[in-house]
C-alpha cells in the first residue's frame, strides 16, 4: 500500500496507508485526516479538497486538467503546486507522497 503524508497548516503530520485505486481525497476521508471538506464528493466541482503537493512530487503527480484548473483558478489562495486531491488517483508510483493542507478550504 502506498504511503501518503498529509501535513496540516499547523504542522501536524498524518501518515496513512492508501489503497491503490482510491484518490488522495478519499484516502484522507477514509483515514479521518482533518482539513478536507470534499463537499461535492469527488466530482471536481467545489474545490474543497485543495492540497499543495510537495515540490519534489509535482513531476510525478502532474498538472491539473482544464476542468480542475478552472476550479483552482477561482481560489484566491491557490499556489503553483495546488491540486484538487479528488483528481489525484493513488498509484504505486506515489508511494511516499507528501501533501500540505491549506489553513482553510475555500
Partner 1 sequence: MAEATQPLMVDLDPAEVPLEDIDVSQRELWEQNKKYPFFKRLRDEAPVHYCKDSEFGAYWSVTRYEDIMEVEQNWQHFSSDPTIVIQDPEEDFQLPMFIAMDPPKHDDQRKTVQGVVAPANLKNLEGTIRTRVQNILDSLPVGETFNWVDKVSIELTTQMLATLFDFPFEDRRKLTRWSDVATGGPETGVVETEEQRREELYECLAYFQNLWHERVGKEGNDLITMLANSEATKDMEPQEFLGNLVLLIVGGNDTTRNSITGGVLALNENPGEYAKLRNDPTVIPNMVSEIIRWVTPLAHMRRTCVKDYELGGQQIKAGDKVIMWYVSGNRDERAIENPDEFRIDRKRARQHLSFGFGIHRCMGNRLGEMQLRILWEEIQKRFHMVEVVGEPVRVPSNFVHGFVELPVRLHPL
3-state secondary structure 75-106: CCCCCCCEEEHHHCECCHHHCCEEEECCCCCC
Residue ranges that bind partner 1, judged by CB under 8 A: 37-41, 43-48, 67, 70-71, 73-74, 76-77, 103-106
Q: Which of 17, 5, 8, 18 is nearest to 89 (CA)?
A: 18
Closest separation in Å from C-beta 46 to partner 1: 6
Inter-residue contact 77 to 9 (CB < 8 Å): no
- The residue (of 15 and 45) whose beta carbon lies closer to partner 1 is 45
- The residue (of 44 and 54) whose beta carbon lies closer to partner 1 is 44
- The residue (of 41 and 96) whose beta carbon lies closer to partner 1 is 41
Closest separation in Å from C-beta 79 to partner 1: 13
Cell output for 37: 471538506
Closest separation in Å from C-beta 66 to partner 1: 10
Amino acid at each position: 500500500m502506498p504511503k501518503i503524508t498529509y501535513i496540516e497548516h499547523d504542522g501536524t503530520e498524518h501518515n496513512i496507508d492508501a489503497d491503490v485505486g482510491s484518490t488522495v481525497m478519499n484516502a484522507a476521508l477514509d483515514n479521518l485526516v482533518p482539513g478536507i471538506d470534499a463537499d461535492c464528493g469527488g466530482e471536481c466541482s467545489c474545490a474543497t479538497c485543495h492540497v499543495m503537493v510537495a515540490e519534489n512530487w509535482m513531476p510525478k503527480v502532474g498538472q491539473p486538467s482544464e476542468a480542475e484548473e478552472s476550479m483552482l483558478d477561482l481560489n484566491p489562495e491557490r499556489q503553483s503546486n495546488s491540486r484538487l486531491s479528488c483528481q489525484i488517483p493513488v498509484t504505486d508510483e506515489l508511494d511516499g507522497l507528501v501533501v500540505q493542507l491549506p489553513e482553510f478550504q475555500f
